[in-house]
A and B are shown apart, each in its own frame.
Chain A
Amino acid sequence: MSELAWIFVSALLVNNFTLSYFLGLCPFFGVSSRLDTAFRLGLANVFVLVITSLAAWALETFVLLHAPYLRLISFIVVIASTVQFVEMVIRKLSPALFRALGIFLPLITTNCAILALALFQTSRGYGLLQGLVFAVGAGLGLTLALVLMAGLREEARLSDIPAMVRGTAMNLLIAGILSLAFMGFAGLFSGTG
């Protein structure tokens, strides 16, 4: 049980996908100008990551044993089509949920965080349950980073910052400081081994 907890906290804080692996930076900088949008994008990410984890586990267990060199291609194709399929199911079953998350789903599918989750899960040899915990932790980690970034950017809009610095340079510096702060979590587990 403690191993699962470690996987979760590690993906959420210590090895945060955005702030220490630089994954999913496009939405991190692109969709983080408003807090509520950022939060919903984060939740859509959790959703896609869970599907990805299931799909990658199934592929790895039942198909790729015989053809490891097809891993990358099959991951991409299967993940993209599964997300599309689930999107259609949600649109049918729950239009409200679809309106909240739907527009982000196609955007997320080509996000590097998604493919990275599948690859990390495979290379670390996680099973089904470990994979799911990893996916939820990583997704919540992405959400946390997005929400923090959006909040900081909303504040920054009101403060007196030279026009020259505004834009990507400022966002990168903010991200750098956030990333520094998250490095503080690195010692979280060293004591307990």
Chain B
Amino acid sequence: MSLPVQDPHTAYAELIKGLWRENPVFVQVLGMCPALAVTNTAVNGLAMGGATLFVLVMSSLLVSSLRRLIPKAVRISTYILIIATFVTVADYVLQALSPAVHRELGAFISLIVVNCIILGRQEAFASKNRVLPAIADAAGMGGGFTLALVILGGAREVLGKGALFGLPLFGESFEPWVVMILPPGGFLMLGAILLVFSYVAEARKRLAARLDQEAAE
């Protein structure tokens, strides 16, 4: 075959790892500013995640295609320029598509530029790999970021407003836990989620240790 053979399993693996096992928010704890700032509802989380996914995939595509042309000494500035260009595009597109959401997210769409996940993926992955795995990696990380934001935003919206994606869940008698949609709620909710994660990790470790011990006996 004249086409460069691309093992579908690698691209698939790059796509999957970002979604859960190396989830940028819950596991790597990166990109927290946008993850906490705009996630008071599931819709805002989805919009922010979608914009980040777009910027990440497009930047990875461009950085990976140009990886032999970008001089090493100025690579970071080049990545930032590329990212800033796509963020400007995303900003204007969102403003055109949904002015209400754009108003609510405010400056945080522009702040995608300084989201460390995006620059991190360019430096750690896109600049060293072919285009297809780079896009898969970007889509996985962006998807994982979106997933985390929707989970965070959804949980905060359910507790703080008694609704999900704007639909009321519990009826009139529900007394919302308002602090959850205010800034402290972001910190507390992400802290609680990470606590669950580390509890599960701890429980697994104990289980593995016990099984080892039983096997040894």
Where the two chains meet, the residues of A that have a C-beta atom closer than 8 Å to any C-beta of B are: 19-26, 29, 69, 72-73, 76-77, 80, 110-112, 114-116, 119-120, 123, 164-165, 167-173, 175-177, 179-180, 183
Q: Which B73-130 residues sit within 8 Å CB-CB of chain A? A: 77, 80-81, 84-85, 87-88, 91-92, 106-107, 110-111, 113-116, 119
Q: Is the CB of B33 within 8 A of A25?
A: yes
The docked-state distance in angstroms from the alpha carbon of A172 to that of B186 is 9
- Interface class of chain A by DSSP: helix
**Chain A residues whose CB sits within 8 angstroms of the CB of B182 once the complex forms:** 183
Q: Is the CB of A72 within 8 A of B33?
A: no
**Chain A residues whose CB sits within 8 angstroms of the CB of B190 once the complex forms:** 172
- Interface class of chain B by DSSP: helix
The docked-state distance in angstroms from the alpha carbon of A165 to that of B194 is 9
Where the two chains meet, the residues of B that have a C-beta atom closer than 8 Å to any C-beta of A are: 29, 32-33, 36-37, 77, 80-81, 84-85, 87-88, 91-92, 106-107, 110-111, 113-116, 119, 179, 182-188, 190-192, 194-195, 198-199, 202
Q: Is the CB of A22 within 8 A of B113?
A: no
Q: Is the CB of B29 within 8 A of A168?
A: yes
**21 pairs of residues in contact across A and B, judged by CB atoms under 8 Å:** A22-B32, A22-B36, A23-B33, A25-B36, A26-B33, A69-B88, A69-B92, A72-B110, A73-B84, A110-B116, A112-B115, A115-B111, A119-B111, A164-B195, A168-B29, A169-B198, A170-B191, A172-B190, A175-B187, A176-B185, A177-B184
Q: Is the CB of B113 within 8 A of A115?
A: yes
Least CB separation from A113: chain B residue: B33
